[in-house]
Amino acid sequence: MATSTTPDMTAMLKDMMGAFPVDTTSMEASFKTSATLNEKLSGVALSAVEKSTEISSKWTKDTVAKLTEMAKAKSEPADYAKAMSDFATAYSEAASEHMAAFAEVAKKVQMETVELMMAAGKDMSEEAQTAMKKASTDVQAAAKKATTK
């Protein structure tokens, strides 16, 4: 009975993978860049939340103060109409003032986000170029090594 030798596919695969080494430093750099970007974006968002909360709180306090003034007893019926009119005018002015403050927060968030994304894109592009150059060099070296054997 003749014995046939079956090729050891595991050994062949191991040899092939060993000929093309994988450098994980580029993946680590990408992960760090991504984590740093996420941290900065979170900082922008949390800062916006904090400022928006401050604006809302101030607006509420101002409104309550104006309502308190309007709710005080008046000596003449016409004074109630004047108090309502004064409140409406003051509230209108405050609303436009506070909405402008919210718009400034949104504008700042937008500008900071665009800056971060542009910087991250540049960093990631540079990392990808470096990784591709290194991978190309490694593959060429491995191919030369494999053909000379």
On average, the pLDDT of the chain sits at 84
**pLDDT for residue 107:** 95
- Given the structure tokens 């994980």, which residue do they identify? 24
pLDDT above 70 as % of the chain: 87
pTM: 0.62
Structure tokens at 139: 């593959």
Contacts of 59 (CB under 8 A, 6+ apart): 94, 95, 98
**Sign of the torsion formed by the C-alpha atoms of 120, 125, 139 and 11:** positive
| pLDDT tens digit sequence for 35-62 | 888 999 999 999 999 999 999 999 999 9
Least confident of 1-5, 23-27, 69-73, 87-91: 1-5
Domain ranges of the chain: 42-130
**pLDDT for residue 88:** 93
Cα separation of 94 and 66, whole Å? 11
**pLDDT for residue 23:** 64
Question: Rounded to the nearest 10 degrees, what angle do helices 77-148 and 9-19 cross at?
Answer: 110
